[in-house]
Amino acid sequence: MSRQLYLIDASVYVFRAWFSIPDTVVDGGGHPANAVFGFGTFLCDLIEGRAPSHVLCAFDESLRSSFRNELYPAYKANRPPPPPDLERQFGVCRELASALGMPALGSIRYEADDLIGSAAQRFRGEGFSMVYVTADKDYVQLMEAGDAWWDVARDRWLDVDGAAEKVGVRPEQVADFLALAGDSVDNIPGVPGVGPKSAGALLGALDTLEGLYDQLEAVLDVGMRGAARIHRLLAAHREQAFLSRELSRIRRDAPLDCETGDLAWGGIDVGRLEMLDLPQQLRSRCRRLAERPAADATAAVVT
């Protein structure tokens, strides 16, 4: 049985804590620490509940500076920058993840999903299967047999077949699907007038974006409603479709500042923990957790 590597989409859980926990939760200096408290609680729950033998966190630090912004300046332009207090707490969360024994990666050029995709690419060859800890369906494109997608808030686990059923296409088709249907969350344009249902039907018939454009006339014979209109839209927006795929495809070649040995959870660095200004309740819990022995390689395997 392969070892499992838990790949945590950290920013999802920092934002969730920021919006769901009141800012009356403060650190020792009286500063709001709601995001830190929620994120730290999530990590402690994960360590206690799943005892991951190998784990990595990735943070988004490239809201306006990723390579995707160079390709398409409007990428994620619909998202406001985080307020200064949340930005401050993001820094504490990254330091907290490191203190809790987890590599905490970030990049101003690559997004968290690129770092996670690159980690999956690198470490799969070393005998790991992946547990993608996220609520983002885009991660389905990284999944292979033996992997799992875990939405912690709903405690929903999906294997590769369940994930494909959830998004409506095979994992390797997800980027092509978004190239056609677009993604309003990330401001990816796709092909105007082609929605998710049409995108799924097109890929079901012609498999890939290249296959679709190599056989564009075959769209007229797919048997879908409005085929002539969709054919015209596809022809008119070919360049935009391929750009949208480049924006939606998770990179797997980002540089990583960690090696296999860094992934093994070896317990909490109490010295680093004590240097952080944390809410007292969270600090107390982390101290208790520090007394727990490191997970062994057989712990918490998903069945």
9 and 65 inside one domain = yes
Residue 197 located in a structural domain: yes
282 and 242 inside one domain = no
Residue pair 26/32 in contact (Cβ under 8 Å)? The answer is: yes
CA-to-CA separations, 158 to 23, 51, 119, 145, 150, in angstroms, rounded = 33, 19, 20, 11, 7
Range of the domain at 181: 171-248
pLDDT score recorded for residue 1:
57
pLDDT score recorded for residue 264:
96
7 and 109 inside one domain = yes
277 and 235 inside one domain = no
pLDDT score recorded for residue 64:
80
Q: 302 pLDDT exceeds 70?
A: no
257 and 235 inside one domain = no
Question: What does the pLDDT average to over 69-79?
Answer: 94
235 and 277 inside one domain = no
Using only C-alpha atoms, the chain has a radius of gyration, in whole angstroms, of 21
What residues have CB less than 8 Å from 13, skipping those under 6 apart? 38, 39, 42, 152
Q: Which CATH number fits the domain that encloses residue 23?
A: 3.40.50.1010
pLDDT tens per residue, range 285-295 = 999 999 876 54
pLDDT score recorded for residue 298:
40
84 and 207 inside one domain = no
pLDDT tens per residue, range 244-266 = 999 999 999 999 999 999 999 98
Question: What does the pLDDT average to over 30-42?
Answer: 98
Residue 120 located in a structural domain: yes
Q: 178 pLDDT exceeds 90?
A: yes
pTM assigned to the model: 0.93
Residue 296 located in a structural domain: no
Question: What does the pLDDT average to over 50-56?
Answer: 96
Residue 62 located in a structural domain: yes
Structurally, the chain folds into a number of domains equal to 2
Give the pLDDT band of residue 224 (cuts 50, 70, 90).
Answer: confident
Q: Measured between alpha carbons, how far is 180 from 175 in angstroms, rounded to an integer?
A: 9
User: Which amino acid, 2?
Assistant: S
pLDDT tens per residue, range 94-107 = 999 999 999 999 99
91 and 189 inside one domain = no
Residue 299 located in a structural domain: no
209 and 239 inside one domain = yes
258 and 154 inside one domain = yes
Q: What angle do CA 12, 171, 152 make, to 5 degrees?
A: 30
Q: Which CATH number fits the domain that encloses residue 232?
A: 1.10.150.20
Q: 237 pLDDT exceeds 90?
A: yes
Residue 303 located in a structural domain: no
CB atoms within 10 A of CB 6: 25
Q: 191 pLDDT exceeds 90?
A: yes
Q: Measured between alpha carbons, how far is 192 from 189 in angstroms, rounded to an integer?
A: 7
pLDDT score recorded for residue 294:
53
Top-confidence residue, 261 or 299: 261
